[in-house]
Structure 1
Amino acid sequence: MSSSPAPYLRSPSLLNRQESRLLIVDMQDRILPVIHNGDLVLANCVRLVEGAQLLQVPVSATEQYPKGLGPTTAALARQLPDRLEKLRFSSAEVLNWGLAAEDSTGRFRVVVAGIETHVCILQTVFDLLSAGFEVHVPADAVGSRSESNRQVALDRMALGGAVITTTESVLLEWCEVAGTPDFKQISQMIR
């Protein structure tokens, strides 16, 4: 009697590149310098964008009132040429994704990164959750001017149903396996 191994069943709690999209929110020049740990937030947003592009995860980006807050910072602007301008704090309206259940792309998992955690990130996350999307927030890729505002917002989002994660977790969940050319490039990004 031979027994073959059971098929691998990946947890539905883990991200995958086929069902995911990345949203970068308001990483703009005039506010980024006053963000607590802004350099780390920027570096992790760059990693997420580079990883998403490598793994063919669609990327969207928004800018909050660019006339007043300036453009997206140069480190991301080259990689994000099609940025959506907004006045509303939530990005959901300008994204125009509608309801997750009606989305024909099958990309119902949204990774949201950027600034500020307690304003535009929080309001975007709650609007996306209300529209039926599964939302993941890498805690090391979001920031606020004060750490307490950031932490309270992360706690609220977790209580509201968002998955709080890290940049490295997102990239490695998208990658899924070691020993591939994609993994080699991702591992270089996170070192």
Structure 2
Amino acid sequence: MGGAKLGIPVEQIRNRPMPTLAPENSLLLAIDFQPRLMAVIEDAATVVGHAKKLRAAASLLGVPTLFTEQYAKGLGTTVEDLAPMEAFQKMTFDACGTPGFLDRLGEGKDIVVAGCEAHICVLQTVLSLLDAGRRIFVVRDAIGSRRAESKETAVRRMERHGAEIVTVEMVVFEWLQTAENARFREAAALIK
């Protein structure tokens, strides 16, 4: 009935996808956590620390992770704290503009996004993924820019175009779904 009062048919509300994340339907996308870039990111240590928590939770809960690196020859490979086994190499700011990127995401996965810079590579990639019909969850405390106003402007723009704005803690507890999850204690300890 609440939906009918808002002008939204009840059937449409019932047929909407679940607004929360589930580990089996998620992929963590870590964009350009590279040394030369992180050296100029505001509060970089916090951003990397949050990304590290996300990666650890993803690993615990079986969520695949895909790292990207922008012009690794100039910006370096992913920072040591996050060092992936491999990273998707790109020269385009929008990762979707690099051939093969969308194929690496898997069909129907919700994309949880962390990375730098929020107003360049993160923003352009998120907007393209939204345009491609993907559900996107931007982790506000795991993205960074050189200046706070650039990050906040990017967050508002991504949200306006349909991205969900979340925090690390929100993601981890949605992936857990219940305190009865066998990995609850390990995952919850990452947040402390």
TM more than 0.5:
yes
Q: Deviations over 1:96-152 (max 9, x none)?
A: 325x9xx5x442x10010100000000000010011100000100000000000000
Q: Deviations over 1:44-89 (max 9, x none)?
A: 1111111111111111010000111111100011xx1110111000
Show the counterpart of 2:91.
Answer: 87
What displacement does 1:179 show?
Answer: 3.5
Equivalenced residue count is 174
Q: Distance in 1 between matches of 2:135 and 2:86?
A: 24
Structure 1 alignment gaps of length 5 or more: 1-10
| Secondary structure, aligned partner of 1:52 | helix
Structural mapping, 1:136-147, within 5 Å: 136-147=137-148
Kindly provide the amino acid, as one letter, of the partner of residue 91 in structure 1: A
| Secondary structure, aligned partner of 1:31 | helix
TM-score normalised to structure 2 length: 0.86
Show the counterpart of 2:26.
Answer: 20
Matched, 1:51 2:51: no
What displacement does 1:39 show?
Answer: 0.8
Matched, 1:153 2:157: no
TM-score normalised to structure 1 length: 0.87
Q: Distance in 2 between matches of 1:158 and 1:67?
A: 32
Q: Distance in 2 between matches of 1:59 and 1:93?
A: 19
Q: Distance in 2 between matches of 1:177 and 1:33?
A: 38
Q: Distance in 1 between matches of 2:173 and 2:190?
A: 11
Q: Distance in 2 between matches of 1:149 and 1:106?
A: 30
Show the counterpart of 1:97.
Answer: 102
| Secondary structure, aligned partner of 2:54 | helix
Q: Deviations over 1:144-166 (max 9, x none)?
A: 00000000000000001000010
What displacement does 1:169 show?
Answer: 0.2
Q: Deviations over 1:6-58 (max 9, x none)?
A: xxxxx811111111111000000111021111111000111111111111111
**Percent identity, aligned pairs only?**
37
Show the counterpart of 1:187.
Answer: 188
| Secondary structure, aligned partner of 1:74 | coil
| Secondary structure, aligned partner of 2:36 | coil
Show the counterpart of 1:164.
Answer: 165
What displacement does 1:93 show?
Answer: 3.5
